[in-house]
Every structure is written in structure tokens, then in C-alpha cells.
Amino acid sequence: MERRAILLNEQDDVATALIDLAKGDQVSVRAGERCVEVTLQNDIPFGHKYALRDIGTGEDVLKYGLPIGQALEEVKVGSWVHVHNCRSERFGHRHQKYGVNA
């Protein structure tokens, strides 16, 4: 079976699409002991993220086991996570907490 998405860390709130995924697809990912299956609420382009859990407004979004941004609005499980609903911390204050490579 073709691997369609990847979960990089057991603590992550998002998985990354390895191919274009369609709304309604059921996608399963695994990291360590954690396995999560979700039904996608949106089309997810290759290389983009989707939520593995409901994420509240203002909550950190974890990828690589670290915060990569904050939710700008409520994000439902299976929804596309991108700049329209997640503020990036790529160049933000988190570097001081996690180091320059965070």
C-alpha cells in the first residue's frame, strides 16, 4: 500500500501529505506507538499539512515535536493547515526557546 502521508513525531498535531489528497479520503499515519486515522475535510495538496486533532484558536501547532505556529481560528481534525488558519513561527520568538534550527 502506498504511503500517502507522514507523521514526523508522536507529539505532532499535523501530518504532511506525500501525494495530493482529496476531501473525504481516510488517511492513516504512524509514528512510534501512535497511529492516527482521519477523514479529510479538505483537499490537501502534496507537501501540505492537515490536522490530526481539533486545534483551538491561539493554540500552538506542533510539527517535528515543536511548535511551528499558532492556530488563527479553530481547526477541525482532517482540515488543511496552512497560512489561512495558522500563523507561522518560522522566524519568530520561538528560536530563542528552541534554538536557531527550530
What are phi and psi for residue 55, nearest 5 degrees? Answer: -120, 125
Query: For the chain, what are the domain ranges?
Result: 5-98
Residue 99 confidence (pLDDT): 53
State which fold the 5-98 domain adopts. 2.30.130
Q: What is the mean pLDDT of the chain?
A: 90
DSSP single-letter state for residue 79 = -
Give the tens place of pLDDT for each residue, 11-58.
Answer: 999 999 999 999 999 999 999 999 999 999 999 999 999 999 999 999
State the CB neighbour count (10 A cutoff) for residue 62.
Answer: 19
The model's pTM: 0.86
Q: How far apart are CA 75 and CA 34, in angstroms?
A: 21
